[in-house]
Chains A and B, each alone.
Chain A
Amino acid sequence: MNTQSNFWQYNKTVLMFAVVALTMPFWFPLMGGYSGLDTKIMIFCIFVVGFDILLGFTGYLSFGHAAFFGISAYVTGIMLKNFSDNIIPAMLVAVAAATVVALIIGLLTLKRTGIYFSILTLAFAEMFDSMAMSMLQRWTGGENGLTGLPTPMLFDLKMQGDTVFYFCALMAIALFYFAKRIERSPVGLMMKAIKCNQTRLEYTGINARRYKLLAFVLSAIYAAIAGSLMVVYEPFVGHEFLGWHQSGEIVIMSVIGGVGTLVGPMLGAAFMLYFENVMSVNLGEQWLLVLGVIFMAVVIFMPGGFMEAMARLKKRFFTTIDGE
């Protein structure tokens, strides 16, 4: 019995996320979310949770994670078009390709810290973007994007509508659980120690560089899975998948939600996609202005994002009760 309650305690956030995610098709349309947006939210949840392993745990801010998202999306598209419309081989090859690229970029960029690391990752991502637009145009479709993809199949199952949503939601739950496990493992402790005091960590017998590389590659794998799922969700690859705009969006989602909390960035992703698509109907292009104001307000008044806001509310609520 004790182990049962421990299990609940241990996996509370994951189970709560699972319930929210799996019931989404029922309540999300009531909020005005169009069908398919929920799938996109799940995909970006995967992207930002992975990104939080790098930014939230180790404190390394990458401005180039669109590279892994985009490369994986293109490889998935090319595989679906030319090899087989089954998504399993396509996704495996895509994630493997992005992982190899991440290893190389990680080895080169992690020699630097702070702003230099950010600029280097941005430079690498832009390099892949311009390659997709020029020398690789034959495969990527250049400015027009990669079009004419078949309907993706999961063996005999057509990946359309709710099937895609549940596929993405299950992936998101599994990957969130995985991230939580990492956070609670010795590896997670070392990664967080990198953010606190890297010199002390090295003088405590830990090879910080290898843990940084591990965090970088893991976050790239998450980005790659998200990129691949984007193509499953909508059989098209646009060149904006690789752009710096995409990288920036992930950073904004993470900051708004609360860096380092895993749950926060997912809230940030859901918030941004929801407002971008639902609110922009009312606000039009002004939406970006509103987002800018929200972003500044969060950074100035609440650097911990939504999670900090929630913690503050909870504290105020409970202290009044305690004060009775």
Chain B
Amino acid sequence: MAILDIHQVSLSFGGLKALQNVNLKIEKGTTHALIGPNGAGKSTLLNVLTGMLKPDDGSVMFDGKPLLNVNSYDINQLGIAKVFQTPAIFPEMTVLQNVTIPVFAARDGCFNMNMFEGRSKQRPLIEFAEQQICELGLEKHMNMMAGSLSRGDKRRLEMAICLANKPRLLLLDEPTAGMARHETEKTIELLRSINDGITKVIVEHDMNVVFSLSDKISVLSQGQIIAEGSPTQIKGHPKVIEAYLGEAQV
């Protein structure tokens, strides 16, 4: 069953057609990669899914609910989390505080006036946040300022923030961009370990990451989906070689 149904989505910036009649179904529980050359519209498509951009046309349904004209925070509350290209965390807060935020967001919704409730008295919630941090291997840094973490650890922390309010769909925008080889390997492992039925959509340039993680790949070029299929199908697809892989292999 498709958890995400993108239907005939189009979006232009002035004269530039960033997305043209994009149709895409993401199956529940799978890892779906979006690849394509620079400027193909991959990040634009992710931004449409998180409510940051409004398409000119088309519809997006998430688990039967429309996603267009919904605020970013409401989209997150529905169960869609996004991992940014540069890790987006709360640098002037401790690692634990960083993860406490989504835990309270999951309990209280997008706004709650509980001004007199002591956070530290909510033991089960704090413990859950601590558990999330441990699962991502950050337990040594629990009370460290998030801004002073290494880049790889910032990525882990961001992942912990995203996973702490139990999303059903995780969007990843080039999670390994600018990473060294061994960090990339670690990230692949990390992503593979997240499999509590969470659907993942991953935008990535690193073919190694794409082919080792995804169940299905869609190829975008000039705002259109030109091919779709399993990793093996995509590897041999002539259109893809022409638009993307060929260019890379020259």
Residues of chain A having any CB pair with chain B under 8 Å:
10, 181-182, 184-190, 192-193, 195-197, 199-208, 210-211, 214
Contacts and interface: CB of A to CB of B under 8 A. Distances in A.
Interface string B79-103: 0011010001111110001001110
Contact of A196 (B84, B93, B120): B93
B73 interface: yes
A186 B112 CA distance: 8
B116 A186 contact: no
Interface in B48-99: 50, 71-74, 76-77, 81-82, 84, 88-93, 97
A185 B73 CA distance: 20
Nearest to B77: A205
A85 B89 CA distance: 53
A200 B160 CA distance: 13
A203 B81 contact: yes
Given A185-B114, A189-B119, A207-B110, 17 more contacts: A184-B118, A184-B119, A185-B116, A186-B108, A186-B114, A186-B119, A192-B92, A193-B93, A193-B101, A196-B91, A196-B93, A203-B82, A203-B88, A204-B73, A205-B105, A205-B106, A206-B73
Contacts of B118: 10, 181, 184-185
B114 A204 contact: no
26 contacts: A181-B115, A182-B115, A184-B119, A185-B119, A186-B108, A187-B115, A190-B101, A190-B104, A192-B93, A193-B90, A196-B91, A196-B92, A197-B91, A199-B88, A201-B101, A202-B76, A203-B76, A203-B81, A203-B88, A204-B81, A204-B101, A204-B102, A205-B77, A207-B73, A207-B111, A210-B110
B117 interface: yes
B224 interface: no
Interface string B214-245: 00000000000000000000000000000000
A186 B81 CA distance: 21
A139 to B, nearest CB: 34
B144 to A, nearest CB: 15
B104 A189 contact: yes
A182 B114 CA distance: 8
Contacts of A205: 73-74, 76-77, 102, 105-106, 109-110, 165
A200 B88 contact: yes
Interface of B: 50, 71-74, 76-77, 81-82, 84, 88-93, 97, 100-102, 104-106, 108-120, 161, 165
Given A201-B101, A204-B105, A187 B88 contact: no
Contacts of B84: 200
User: Which 5 residue pairs of A and B lie closest in terms of their CB atoms, listed nearest first?
Assistant: A205-B76, A196-B90, A207-B110, A205-B105, A200-B88
Contacts of A186: 104, 108, 112, 114, 117, 119
A203 B167 CA distance: 12
A203 B76 CA distance: 6
A182 B71 CA distance: 26
Given A197-B91, A203-B50, A203-B72, A185 B111 contact: no
B101 A211 contact: no
Nearest to A204: B102
B155 to A, nearest CB: 13
A200 B106 CA distance: 15
Contacts of B88: 197, 199-200, 203
A99 to B, nearest CB: 15
Contacts of B101: 189-190, 193, 201, 204, 206
A207 B97 CA distance: 18
B90 A200 contact: yes
A256 to B, nearest CB: 21
A186 B125 CA distance: 11
Contacts of B89: 197, 200
A187 B101 CA distance: 10
Contact of A184 (B50, B105, B120): B120
Nearest to B146: A196
B126 to A, nearest CB: 11
A184 B104 CA distance: 13
Contacts of B108: 186
Nearest to A218: B115
B125 to A, nearest CB: 9
B106 A206 contact: no
Contacts of B90: 193, 196-197, 200-201
Contact of B161 (A181, A200, A210): A200
Contacts of A214: 113
A208 B73 CA distance: 9
A207 B161 contact: no
A197 to B, nearest CB: 5
B112 A204 contact: no
B71 A207 contact: yes
Most buried by A among B50, B88, B91, B109: B88
A10 B100 CA distance: 20
Contacts of B165: 204-205
Contacts of A206: 73, 101, 105, 110-111
A188 B104 CA distance: 12
